[in-house]
Amino acid sequence: MPYLKREGATQDELDRLVKTWNEKLSPQEIAGITERQRNPFPANHPLHAQYKPFDPSLWDLPQKKLPDSYLDFLRYSNGGEFQTGERYFQFFGTNELREYNSVQGNHVDG
C-alpha cells in the first residue's frame, strides 16, 4: 500500500479533539486499561513474581496544546498512512489520538 489518505477532519471534529484529547482518564478508560494488563513474563521467569500492574488513575496526560501544523495536517487527512521505500508512517486521526493516549499515556507511579 503506497498510502492511505482519509477525508479531512471537520472543524467540529478538530474542536472536539482539542477539547478532549488530554482530559483526565474516565472511570471506563481506567477500567479498560486495568483489564488489559497482563504479566509479560512467563510463569517460570524470575521476574514473573515481581510483576506489579500499574495504576492508570495516576497517569498525567500531557497538558500541551496540539500544534497548529498537526491540526492543519488533520484538515488534509484525518489520520492515514504512507510508505516510501522501507519507511512506513502512520498518523492518528481525531478519533484515534485519545484512544492511543489512554493505551500508551504517560504514567507516574507514586
Q: Is 85's pLDDT higher than 80?
A: yes
Rounded to whole angstroms, the Cα distance separating 14 from 75 reads: 8
- pLDDT for the residue numbered 1: 56
DSSP secondary structure letters along 40-105: -S-TTSTTGGG-----GGG------PPPHHHHHHHHH-SSEEEEETTEEEEE--TTTHHHHHHHH-
- Per residue in 52-78, pLDDT (tens digit) is 999 999 988 888 999 999 999 999 999
pTM for the predicted model, two decimal places:
0.69
pLDDT tier for residue 102 given thresholds of 50, 70 and 90 = low
Q: Is 109's pLDDT higher than 50?
A: no
> Mean pLDDT of all residues in the chain?
87
